[in-house]
Structure 1
């Protein structure tokens, strides 16, 4: 079975206010050509098909066109929902669409029901919100490792009955993976991190959620996002993964480069040097993040920079010798500081150095987790008042 593994399309995403839909449409063109040229049997998208729970009409139209063209190649197309998708909306009419070769898995009920392609069982595990699916999965562990372990136990039980080689799609943060600044945090602190051993016994695990293509275990890989969505992805190779699995298991995995509509460049230095140095010529056609190190902030800096770098979209100032602040999600993960840690630090600060007690810390854990779930729930609802008033 020849399969293309991709994920994190984030259709409808913007890059510093500039819509990425044309770049995403170019990726769809590339993907259709790849599937047809390589005579691919299955195309899998491991979550975050859309960038938001309520995608815009042109975004929905692009997905409709993409899956139609991909199914027309003769390949089976398998989509699973990610933490950015509305599971209910993405899964609409899934039973009917399955008859045409488009298989959507967005609920717990479909976890142990594989799509069998050329003698290989493909299990699509959607993003699992622990507090919402733990009971349905029969586990008391309301954590990402707990619910994904329960889901994989159900998968392994079905594999044992079928006796087929298997591929598992999952949308999760697996230990050993390197995040970027463009993923949304999915839990408080480190309780989102899942060990690769959760996928033991699987011939290939096709992961989604992290936007950098990477291998975290022998047969456990992230395809990464096909389009860059933050400057932290500068220097990444955007790829799709061409995977071969047969009755003996995983045969090979090959990276196929995705098209890059516009590259990313990071520039740092004094304004006058950046404007004059010929070494920066390649950045003139790239999305550019500029960090100015002038001791005194230059007037009209962005306007002057755009005269040479018309696609400069972010300007930072770090005067020589000034300290820098760690603030991004990826940086927080590297420094092991969570939102709860920050809240506890603040509590201790305002109380004159009296640290938060265990009970107080638990209150903060519950509050931060409730806020995160409320935000996700708000993304997945359209208020009736908004519909009546015509609000977007």
Structure 2
């Protein structure tokens, strides 16, 4: 009956990591997915379920990217139906947005519900003359309804939409609703997701396909709720997400959804190493280099592809964290891996030892225990912790007794040299 491409969360103009090539990745992904799975597949239409852009205010180059991609579809005779997401919706108090600009130029159809508080019907049919409307009946027999970004008011909006759908003229075929929101249970630490029971009135009102966006991970629920995920990963954490574009075919027997992922995407590699607390700064640096070299040898890192690489150092280290020059090591690993972006996450904690202090301990005993804990936690000095702790106490006493800086320096040198020779 109908074939269409469902995408969401394109995020053109993505500018995290302050890297122009990374920003281009989102354009390349968008263009490639449209070329392969809309134009080559000769779909009847394309839907964009929010967040075409990363920002409400965009750069000219980002607008050119959107226009170029959408113009490909216009030349192929494929209509594009879109809604605003939370990233690209119009600022409060304004009546226009860059998506509205694209709609006015005929590059897409921005489906927007009417303002009920001002006496407008919630859903009016799309007008090619005005380039306005809340729903459209396509030649392939499918009805598509739009929405806006509702945020916390989404449950109330669902009630209004479900009440409005039955009052519309009968649809010739299946009904699709574009809705930019998430369903609970799909990803961790996501507040404000909708429960399935809150979405069910839409199905009861006649929605056959609920086209979601917002969550950057692909999922489907009960054969009628679909979310393709973002076209490109927006963060290192999203590297593990299954995401792509849904190529959908609606037939008399039901909905056939095929998640397409074989298009341009930047490779992302996540590595980890665990420090056990015995290593020196130099040993940690060498282990990090060897970990990246191993990933290159195993083909995990393809230096020809300029991937995004993250190395996380976990565990414990036997030195002050500030002793490791993270920036210099990151630069060295960046050059070694030929990565587009290399992220070094030094999350290891410094060793800590706390000796129990007796209730009747005097000041000298407490000082010695503190020095002993600090030295024991250090991988370099832990084997000599006891004599060095006593040496620090002696150093303090000499300073209090008025010894010169030169005498104190010589005492420290003698203490360290004696321990090294031992």
In structure 1, what is the Cα distance between the partners aligned to 2:271 and 2:348?
14
In structure 1, what is the Cα distance between the partners aligned to 2:49 and 2:271?
33
Structure 1 pair 263–191 and aligned structure 2 pair: CA distance change class (3 A): closer
Displacement after TM superposition at 1:289 (Å): 1.8
Q: Which residue of 2 aligns with 1:115?
A: 136
In structure 1, what is the Cα distance between the partners aligned to 2:27 and 2:73?
13
Q: 2:234 matched to 1:234?
A: no
State which of 33, 49, 53 in structure 2 corresponds to 1:50: 53
Displacement after TM superposition at 1:321 (Å): 7.8
Q: Which residue of 1 aligns with 2:280?
A: none
State which of 330, 336, 347 in structure 2 corresponds to 1:308: 336
Q: Which residue of 2 aligns with 1:225?
A: 230
Structure 1 pair 91–303 and aligned structure 2 pair: CA distance change class (3 A): closer
Q: Which residue of 1 aligns with 2:68?
A: 65
Q: Which residue of 2 aligns with 1:202?
A: 207
CA-based RMSD of the aligned residues comes to: 2.7
- Deviation sequence 1:161-183 (CA, Å, 0-9, x none): 33531111110122233268xxx
- Deviation sequence 1:128-187 (CA, Å, 0-9, x none): 256xxxxxxxxxxxx3211223123323432x733531111110122233268xxxx7xx
Q: Which residue of 1 aligns with 2:160?
A: 150
State which of 289, 292, 310 in structure 2 corresponds to 1:275: 289
Q: What TM-score, normalized to structure 2?
A: 0.64
Q: Which residue of 2 aligns with 1:133?
A: none
Displacement after TM superposition at 1:127 (Å): 1.4
Q: Secondary structure at the match of 2:54?
A: coil
Equivalent runs, 1:79-90 vs 2, <5 Å: 79-87=82-90, 88-90=96-98
Q: 2:183 matched to 1:162?
A: no
Displacement after TM superposition at 1:91 (Å): 4.6
Structure 1 pair 258–14 and aligned structure 2 pair: CA distance change class (3 A): farther
In structure 2, what is the Cα distance between the partners aligned to 1:322 and 1:163?
69
State which of 338, 343, 348 in structure 2 corresponds to 1:319: 348
In structure 1, what is the Cα distance between the partners aligned to 2:124 and 2:173?
13
In structure 1, what is the Cα distance between the partners aligned to 2:185 and 2:200?
11
CA contact under 8 A between 2:229 and 2:242: conserved in structure 1? no
Displacement after TM superposition at 1:249 (Å): 6.7
- Deviation sequence 1:307-343 (CA, Å, 0-9, x none): 32243432222226889xxxxxxxxxxxxxxxxxxxx
Q: Which residue of 2 aligns with 1:128?
A: 150
| Structure 2: gaps spanning 5 or more residues | 91-95, 116-121, 126-134, 274-283, 353-422
Structure 1 pair 156–58 and aligned structure 2 pair: CA distance change class (3 A): farther
In structure 1, what is the Cα distance between the partners aligned to 2:63 and 2:99?
13
Q: Which residue of 2 aligns with 1:74?
A: 77
CA contact under 8 A between 1:212 and 1:224: conserved in structure 2? yes
Q: What TM-score, normalized to structure 1?
A: 0.68
Q: Secondary structure at the match of 1:162?
A: coil
Q: Which residue of 1 aligns with 2:409?
A: none
State which of 308, 312, 317 in structure 2 corresponds to 1:291: 312
Q: Which residue of 1 aligns with 2:408?
A: none
Aligned residue pairs total: 299
* Bigger Rg, which one: 2
Displacement after TM superposition at 1:53 (Å): 0.9
Displacement after TM superposition at 1:191 (Å): 4.5
State which of 231, 256, 266 in structure 2 corresponds to 1:262: 266
In structure 1, what is the Cα distance between the partners aligned to 2:26 and 2:192?
32
CA contact under 8 A between 2:147 and 2:178: conserved in structure 1? yes
Structure 1 pair 95–273 and aligned structure 2 pair: CA distance change class (3 A): closer
Q: Which residue of 1 aligns with 2:23?
A: 21
CA contact under 8 A between 1:7 and 1:45: conserved in structure 2? yes
Structure 1 pair 191–53 and aligned structure 2 pair: CA distance change class (3 A): same
CA contact under 8 A between 2:113 and 2:124: conserved in structure 1? no
| Structure 1: gaps spanning 5 or more residues | 131-142, 324-392
